[in-house]
Structure 1
Amino acid sequence: MKNKDALLEFKQYLIVEKNASERTIENYIRDVQAFFNYIEANHQIDQIDDIHKEHIRFYLKTLSHLSASTVSRKMVSLRSFYKYLLKEEIIERNPMESFDLPKSQKKLPTVLSKQEVNILLNSIEMNDFISARNRAMLELLYATGIRVSELVSLTIYQLNLKMKYLNVIGKGDKERLIPLTDYVCKIMGKYIYDYRNPKLDFKDVDLLFFNNHLKKVSREDFYAILQKEVKKTSIQKKISPHTLRHTFATHLFENGADLRSIQELLGHSDISTTTIYTHVSNEKMIEDYNKFHLRSHKNIEKESDKNEL
């Protein structure tokens, strides 16, 4: 089978059988296509059966300049592709079984303090459609911890202000109900009734959030919105849309929420993914201990300085 034909069938498999998200499909196909581009350009191979372990090893060496996480993602894509080929009996052996993923040091996510969250959210005054939409999006993101892809895909029917919950469609089309506070319901109500609905002017649009042309706000659009709003504040941290999701989970954990509850709210299929927030909180605890404990190194130095005066 030709490489390009195998890739087309793999894409169909991801869509129909795996029900993978649009982003997952895009990443897998792009990664496998990059592998084929290398194989065809450097080894003149366009047939799946002619690709061997050595070719894959040579390809992986060309990725040495990339971060461990990027290499891992590309390898995961190739693993999935070759597992599919083996399952469909297109190949007899899986050459990817010989390669281990690179070990990468887990980087703790950036988290905003409670003061920084207030600075960011309160800096956005709701005085027109765009400012009201931006405030509502950021408030809802911090209030629920949902993914940005889930946020920008929300419809008006997924929000129930009367019952105070948000019905989220997550990865694999799994639904989860997230409770909402009175405060965020008030913000959402103001956005919807004072700005969203008048902007629509009775046009039939189900999206909860949209741009000036009544079209969906993309993930890239939201990133730009967030960066614009952060620049207006005194916050110096490098913030991504995922920062508010991490912040939501960390603040819940610090205030005593159970890890299992946080897992459900975030839509994590495996609780081991959620445990990273215990590490974030532990790091903050150590930082506070060193900063505030009477006998910490810094405070002893301060005391010594006073005694010398």
Structure 2
Amino acid sequence: MKLQNKDESLSSALLRWSIDFNENLTLDRKDEKTIENYMNVVNKFIEYVNINKFIDDSSFDAIDVKMIKRYFMWRDNEYLNKTGKELKASTKLNDKKILNIFFEYIDDENIDKYEFHLKWKKIKYKKESIEKDYFKPDLVHSFLDYLENNLKKERNEFAYMLSFTFKLALYGGLRASELCDLQLKYFGKPYIAKDSGTKLIPLTIKGKGKTLYTNPIPYEYIKNELNYFKRNKSLEEKLFLTKTKLPLKRTNLYGYFEKISNELNLGKKGIHIIRRTFASNLSEMGVDVRNIQLLMRHKDIKTTIIYTARSQSRMEEAVSKL
């Protein structure tokens, strides 16, 4: 594809390349969440170019290290004005990585043999080592009580969906995207664990990169919701729908749980925090971090360590053994 057509603005050329890039991500079988992340970053960069006429009237040569630094300064200010908070270094590192991949794609695919000569090492942001937030026990109980009362009041599919997705994230560590892909056929037959005597049910999960995992879930916590869907759904259809009966997407789940958090004045948003709570609860109970890694389906144990919250009681127990 031609790098930039005659009389074509830089933002228009970048938009044309972004459409091609998006298609290539799909052909490479990137999952929906990854594609959304990549395209959000690329589209934000195009927005910056579009609103700066001097840059927009130029060519790809205008994209240099200084321009990228100015872009991130604009991103900082925009985010600060919108939220009152600073843009996280981890977000900047993510954006930087994706823009690098996008420009490399243009390098490889343009017929004009144009090459970027960006020295990305000059664009530095410190990695953060901040512990992930999670629901403490009292907040978990508040959420579960809300969902139980909502079920008693509504008794409809939407109420069962909210309760079921929350419990699968809390007791199974499922991601929002994994919850949206669930079907009844992925649930196996309940069984009794030999060592603990606990009744468990195996659940096959479609993780990142279409990889399949099978995790045990405590059956008693989810049996009410599971039996409801068994009575009302076939094995092959998508298990969860939105309030308006459309296939559930992770953005819907984030919105629903953010709304509940606001109603309960918890100050916690989204559904991913529930997955973090799953990891933190396992850590608190003394489960080995490598077993938590397997249950969380993390490729790198460093990610698991970030997800497992520091517990005062666990730290005290550890040093007491010295």
TM (normalized to structure 2)? 0.74
SS of aligned partner of 1:208: coil
Q: Name the residue aligned to 1:218.
A: 249
Q: For residues 174-213 of structure 1, what are the structure 2 equivalents within 5 Å?
A: 174-193=211-230, 197=232, 206-213=237-244
Match of residue 69, structure 2, among 49, 52, 57? 57
Does structure 1 residue 159 correspond to structure 2 residue 194? no
Q: For residues 1-309 of structure 1, what are the structure 2 equivalents within 5 Å?
A: 1-2=3-4, 3-4=13-14, 5-17=16-28, 19-39=29-49, 41-45=53-57, 47-48=59-60, 51-65=63-77, 66=79, 67=87, 68-88=89-109, 90-125=113-148, 126-127=151-152, 128-129=155-156, 130-162=158-190, 164-193=201-230, 197=232, 206-230=237-261, 236-278=266-308, 280-282=309-311, 285=314
Q: Deviations over 1:50-91 (max 9, x none)?
A: 533343333333234241333333222211112333445744
Task: State how far apart, in whole Å, the 1-side matches of 2:58 and 2:97 are.
Answer: 21
Task: State how far apart, in whole Å, the 2-side matches of 1:51 and 1:100 are.
Answer: 13
Offset at 1:45? 4.5
| Aligned CA distance change for structure 1 residues 283 and 24 (closer, same or farther; 3 Å) | farther
SS of aligned partner of 1:281: coil
Task: State how far apart, in whole Å, the 2-side matches of 1:284 and 1:167 are.
Answer: 34
SS of aligned partner of 2:42: helix
Aligned-residue RMSD, C-alpha: 3.1
CA contact (8 A) 2:261 2:267 kept: no
CA contact (8 A) 1:69 1:104 kept: yes
Gaps of 5+ in 1: 290-309
Moved more, 166-175 or 120-129: 120-129
CA contact (8 A) 2:164 2:222 kept: no
Specify the code of the residue in structure 2 equivalent to 1:173: K
TM (normalized to structure 1)? 0.77
Offset at 1:110? 2.0
Moved more, 65-74 or 266-275: 65-74
Task: State how far apart, in whole Å, the 2-side matches of 1:257 and 1:107 are.
Answer: 22
Moved more, 148-157 or 61-70: 61-70
Specify the code of the residue in structure 2 equivalent to 1:39: V
Task: State how far apart, in whole Å, the 1-side matches of 2:119 and 2:24 are.
Answer: 19
Identical counterparts, % of pairs:
25
Task: State how far apart, in whole Å, the 2-side matches of 1:32 and 1:211 are.
Answer: 29
Task: State how far apart, in whole Å, the 2-side matches of 1:236 and 1:259 are.
Answer: 28
Task: State how far apart, in whole Å, the 1-side matches of 2:123 and 2:312 are.
Answer: 30
SS of aligned partner of 1:92: coil
Gaps of 5+ in 2: 5-12, 80-86, 192-200, 318-322
CA contact (8 A) 2:42 2:98 kept: yes
Moved more, 171-180 or 19-28: 19-28
| Aligned CA distance change for structure 1 residues 30 and 210 (closer, same or farther; 3 Å) | closer
Offset at 1:151? 0.9
Q: Deviations over 1:140-192 (max 9, x none)?
A: 11111111111122122222244611111111111111111121342333332
Q: Deviations over 1:96-135 (max 9, x none)?
A: 5343341153332222223432332144233312322222
Aligned length: 280
Q: Name the residue aligned to 1:294.
A: none
Q: Deviations over 1:6-39 (max 9, x none)?
A: 333322322213x222232233233223323433
CA contact (8 A) 2:280 2:307 kept: yes
| Aligned CA distance change for structure 1 residues 180 and 86 (closer, same or farther; 3 Å) | same
CA contact (8 A) 2:284 2:314 kept: no
Specify the code of the residue in structure 1 equivalent to 2:136: S
CA contact (8 A) 1:11 1:29 kept: yes
